[in-house]
A = this chain, B = another copy of it.
């Protein structure tokens, strides 16, 4: 019997379509080969990207030249532009504003072919430091309400370049998906004086059936109402609302943890295309967020990473309904990833 499951964070029903049951092997396809001949993110091609905003460099190496371990640059084709005022206004019954924002690219390594799980823990730590650094820096701009950090890996996940990179987009409005999660968390907190995600973590650890990996610091599990096969929710075990305040210690633990989880995805599903998203707290320094309502954010919000392998296609039903049809029960997906032997 198929099952409808409700996600308490996104307040969305998902169809777990047992009649269409797809097991891990059904998803294993040949990874795409990188057809590009020239990569602007390779070492030595620094002049082909906008100037660097941040970098981890060998001592003595020059800005915008070789000798780096990690670079952050503006996106050459930005979705939003950094200059200008918002100019909010009505167009009849519609609303518009200028596309003001920031769009940056974190080039994670000089190794063009590396998977996130191939990076040494020390390098992955530098990547996480860069996430924290850029997030906190962009938050200082009072025009921006949110900074979304995300990664597209593989063409089917929307990556136009294969070289390992993460993107940040700072937006002048809080994104809908984040606003919805913030609201659910707030509603739960007002009712119970507990964090919704903390409650979810407790239930997941106690049942265990959807756990992929758990350490003292972090937990990764497949959500009860997973929209997609092998969707992963990765979260700090101890309550914290803001990735921007992660400690150096926790960054180290997260690097180790992430390397392991990403390796499970790569090995278990033959390097599938995936999206990776950070949902951290909004920019609470902007005036609209400084109201009393937002002052509980440190108690009710819990930052997390969502990892979404792109193994199925979203079709008319999903677009028209907001329902998702998932052919792989999350318990089955978690068991497979959890029991994988990584050598």
Contacts and interface: CB of A to CB of B under 8 A. Distances in A.
> Which of A151, A279, A323 lies at the interface centre, i.e. has the most chain B CB atoms within 10 A of its CB?
A323
A38 interface: no
Contact of A81 (B2, B84, B225): B2
A39 interface: no
Interface string A76-97: 0111110010000001111111
A30 to B, nearest CB: 17
Interface string A1-29: 11111101001110111111000000000
A158 B318 CA distance: 10
Interface SS, A side: mixed
B158 A313 contact: yes
A152 B315 CA distance: 6
Nearest to A306: B320
A179 to B, nearest CB: 8
Contact of A99 (B2, B169, B313): B2
Given A157-B316, A314-B158, A316-B275, A19 B322 contact: no
B17 A99 contact: yes
A151 B224 contact: no
A48 B94 CA distance: 49
A176 B13 contact: yes
B277 A316 contact: yes
Interface string A174-201: 0111101000000000000000000110
A160 to B, nearest CB: 9
Nearest to A225: B94
A316 to B, nearest CB: 3
Interface string A144-171: 0010101110011111000000010101
B199 A93 contact: yes
> Which of A12, A95, A308 lies at the interface centre, i.e. has the most chain B CB atoms within 10 A of its CB?
A95
> What bracket does the count of chain A residues touching chain B fall in?
35 or more
A176 B321 contact: yes
Given A15-B80, A80-B15, A203-B93, A171 B321 contact: yes
A308 B203 CA distance: 39
Given A148-B321, A275-B319, A308-B316, 18 more contacts: A2-B98, A4-B172, A6-B94, A13-B176, A15-B99, A94-B203, A146-B321, A148-B317, A150-B316, A157-B315, A158-B314, A158-B315, A169-B317, A171-B321, A178-B322, A275-B315, A275-B320, A308-B319
Interface of A: 1-6, 8, 11-13, 15-20, 77-81, 84, 91-99, 146, 148, 150-152, 155-159, 167, 169, 171-173, 175-178, 180, 199-200, 203, 207, 224-225, 275-279, 306, 308, 313-317, 319-323, 325
* Those 9 A-B pairs whose CB atoms lie nearest each other, nearest first: A158-B315, A2-B99, A175-B321, A176-B322, A150-B316, A277-B320, A275-B316, A177-B322, A6-B95
